[in-house]
Chain A
Amino acid sequence: MRREIPLLITGIVGVVFVISYFIPHFPFNMMDGWFSDWFSIIQACAIVLGALNLLLISSQKIIRRKTDWGYSIVVMATFFLMIIAGFSGGVEFRGPDTTFTWLYNFTFMPLSSTMYAILAFFVASASYRAFRARNAEATLLLGAAFFVMIGRVPIGDLITGFMPEGARLSDLTGWIMDYPQTAGQRAIMIGIALGLVSTSLRVILGIERSHLGGDS
């Protein structure tokens, strides 16, 4: 029963969703909204599990003095600091002048942006590896990348300014992006769409059940 009930629910909900796409009549037109609401409620309840898990793992680390247990103190301290700041702000804790908002805007956001900024360096290091001409495909990639990059900046057209319009580097870049790139991306998109259909059918029919804890 532990497997059958979730499979039954999955099957029914899946079929209802498929039907509701083609039938605009009540109640099918409301199903999407209702299921989304239910999912949000379950999600909100589950966040408690996540928070408890975080606290449990961090406190165990501190108590048992595991490697890097000092970081867990920071995790717990900031966790409780944000909770206290949130509760002290009352219902309007997300308002513009609350401690919670201040902490979020002036501590969390800069830290988050810092992590995002690291991406710039990683793009450089990944590009360096990806654009090495090791074989024919990599050389083709390198060539395409070179033309696209140089065609995107003003110097590209400056270099090829003497050429007729339509044959300049920016035009070549546009052609690469509009045709080979779009064609490749659409091929991937078609594959993804069909893969989604197939996976959804496997899940709805109960053929795929390892996410529910295996076949037994």
Chain B
Amino acid sequence: MSLSQRKSFSVFPAIQFIIIIALTFVLSVNSFAQEATDDTTSVTSVIIAPPTNLLVEDFEYDDGEKLNLIWTPSIDDQPQVGKVTGYQVFRVTNDDVTTKIAELMPGANNFTDQELDKDSTYSYYVTAIANGAEASSVTTSPISPQREWVNFGLTNLFVIALIIGGAIFYFIEMGKRGKKLFVRKIAGLEAVDDAIGRATEMGRPILYIPGIHDMDDVQTLASLTILGRVAEQIADYDIKIRMPVARSLVMTAARETIKASYQAAGRPDAYSDDMVSYITDEQFGYVAAVDGIMVREKPATVFLLGAFFAESLILAETGNHVGAIQIAGTARPAQLPFFIAACDFTLIGEELFAASAYLSNEPKALGALKGQDVGKIIAAAAIIAGVLLETVIQLTDSESAATLLGYLRQAFTT
């Protein structure tokens, strides 16, 4: 009795417990299902307008590999309050393969499809996305990218290049015919002789730094052409030249340049490969080495000509501290103030490129310099005309002045 009582006592609660668990489970599942259904209802209830006016056109002046897509964003794509969370761009090829090619942010209204095949046709549609809902634009008609031979968008630049190039050719020809060409004095280049003479008197070396860029930079090329002229004088005066470089190709080219200059000066025996040494490609590793050379060898003259970056002031200040006369030059406007502050003479921008012609005094090279002036005249005339037109527009609100200014802007915009 007591056993059966104990049995019945223990079985009932167990069954009750199982029933409660089962009920709880069923109710929970039901409730989850309901929630999920509610969610679905809320998702599908978001209705958004599709993007409209989708237009596909050929990308102008390319090799037949790009197409431009432009559309009007969905009216539900509003800043802050809009429902649209982004756009997806789909491409349909002529063999009916559809590919998603881009996912764009809300507000996007254009896209350039690239790396296309000019022999295929492409259709596109754009889908606006909003929390699971989406709305697609109509699919465009098939279009092929077109290949163009000439970039007519650069016609204005081509004309300007022709004028400046023509002027340079004209003055080179004038130089060849022996016409006297006036070139203004450049203080930094006038000082080259004195700087080399100073090193001779002091019996100290000359340090030549060609910047930290490679031979593909015109500044390095300009620096090496100056080196050619400077090295000839150095060979004449029999002074030591040190040229640590940051690029292997510059090392090879600089050696050739100095060797030729020593030969031209009739002193090939005085040339040594040790004059030019490679340090490292690393910017500040190079700076540390050059600073070390400056402090240890105390050069009388330092040339800093070429492409310089953050190292410009470190090098120029160290040169200043060791008491060297310094001639610097670069075509990087951001570094010019540092050179002006720390060096004795600075070749500003174009003067660096003019230096070789200036030092050589060769008529053809001087002719090329004179040709540049035509470009400056064009630039100055355009600036003055622009300023005058803008002033007239501000004062009189003249429409014809605005039209003229528009033409002027167009002429100098690519």
Contacts and interface: CB of A to CB of B under 8 A. Distances in A.
Interface of A: 21-26, 29, 39, 42-43, 46-51, 53-54, 57, 67-68, 71, 108, 111-113, 115-116, 118-119, 122-123, 125-127, 129-130, 185, 188-192, 194-203, 205, 207-208, 210-216
Given A21-B154, A191-B350, A208-B365, A46 B149 contact: no
B208 interface: no
Contacts of A214: 228, 257, 260-261, 263-264
Contacts of A43: 214, 247-249
A126 B151 CA distance: 48
B313 A119 contact: yes
Contact of A126 (B62, B149, B225, B317): B317
Most chain B beta-carbon contacts within 10 A, residue among A26, A49, A201: A201
A21 to B, nearest CB: 7
A190 B376 contact: yes
A180 to B, nearest CB: 14
B331 A126 contact: no
A210 B285 contact: no
Residue from the set B264, B278, B340 with the largest chain A CB neighbour count within 10 Å: B278
B297 to A, nearest CB: 9
A24 B284 contact: no
A53 B357 CA distance: 32
A212 B256 contact: yes
Interface string B144-173: 000111110010001001001100100010
Nearest to A27: B63
Contacts of B161: 197
B260 A53 contact: no
B298 interface: no
Interface of B: 61-63, 147-151, 154, 158, 161, 164-165, 168, 172, 214, 216, 218, 221-222, 224-225, 227-229, 247-249, 251-253, 256-257, 259-261, 263-264, 274, 277-285, 287-288, 292, 296, 310, 313-314, 316-317, 320, 331, 333, 336-338, 340-342, 348-354, 356-357, 360, 362, 364-365, 368-369, 371-372, 375-376, 379
A190 B264 contact: no
Contact of B63 (A26, A127, A207): A26
A200 B263 CA distance: 26
B216 to A, nearest CB: 6
Among A25, A53, A194: residue with most chain B CB under 10 A = A194
B317 A211 contact: no
Contacts of A57: 274, 277
Given A54-B278, A208-B365, A211-B257, A195 B352 contact: yes
A198 B237 CA distance: 31
Across the A-B interface, the 5 shortest Cβ-Cβ residue pairs? A210-B228, A50-B248, A195-B353, A195-B350, A214-B260
A25 B333 contact: no
Given A54-B278, A67-B296, A197 B375 contact: yes
Given A23-B149, A190-B376, A197-B375, A112 B282 contact: yes
A195 B354 contact: yes
A80 to B, nearest CB: 15
Nearest to B158: A22
